[in-house]
């Protein structure tokens, strides 16, 4: 279910590389979204993740996935690198529309992605927009997929 970009990320002639899924099917490369010349690289794709509304943490040790009762989205999780930034994009399977995006500047992933204390398959993402932020839960059905995400 996971797709990975080629090691080089682009062909020598500058054309976008194709992405190959684990079953060998070619997937289109991610297109550049802004005017910068930096190339986007797809680093990780998981076709089925669960997104939860996260209640406030009940202890100082952190969030517990067992407290999450409200699944608000099911879709694709794609991690994209561009320059010194990473983006975790949650995308609707049927429409391809972006549900939420977690921007991680300059390798500061500890500030934006936090593992829960009671499971290796769940994480809390900090979503920021226009100076405001919210926390959502990200869950993987398979433990191996969550290790690939880390």
123-134 pLDDT per residue, tens: 999 999 888 999
30 C-beta neighbours (distance < 10 Å), count = 19
Q: Where are the beta strands (DSSP E) in 54-116?
A: 71-82, 85-91, 98-104, 113-115
* CATH number, span 39-149: 2.30.29.30
42 C-beta neighbours (distance < 10 Å), count = 21
Confidence of residue 19 (pLDDT cuts 50, 70, 90): very low
Domain residue spans in the chain?
39-149
Write the CB contacts of 84 (distance below 8 Å, at least 6 apart in sequence).
Answer: 105, 106, 107
Phi then psi for residue 48, to 5 deg, are -140, 110
Look at residue 16 in the predicted model and tell me its pLDDT.
37
3-state SS, residue 142: coil
Q: Does the structure show a pLDDT above 60 at 25?
A: no
The pLDDT tens digits for 64-78 are 999 999 999 999 999
Confidence of residue 84 (pLDDT cuts 50, 70, 90): very high
Confidence of residue 31 (pLDDT cuts 50, 70, 90): very low
Q: What is the mean pLDDT of the chain?
A: 81
């Amino acid at each position: 279910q996971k797709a990975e970009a080629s090691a080089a990320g682009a062909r020598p002639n500058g054309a976008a590389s194709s992405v190959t899924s684990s079953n060998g099917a070619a997937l289109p490369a991610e297109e550049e979204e802004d005017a910068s010349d930096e190339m986007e690289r797809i680093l990780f794709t998981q076709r089925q993740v669960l997104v939860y509304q996260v209640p406030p943490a009940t202890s100082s040790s952190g969030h517990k996935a067992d407290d999450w009762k409200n699944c608000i989205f099911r879709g694709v999780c794609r991690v994209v690198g561009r320059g010194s930034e990473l983006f975790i994009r949650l995308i609707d399977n049927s429409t391809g529309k972006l549900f939420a995006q977690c921007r991680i500047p300059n390798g500061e992933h500890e500030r934006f992605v936090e593992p829960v204390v009671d499971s290796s398959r769940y994480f809390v993402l900090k979503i920021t927009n226009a100076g405001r932020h919210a926390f959502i839960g990200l869950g993987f059905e398979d433990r191996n997929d969550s290790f690939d995400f880390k």
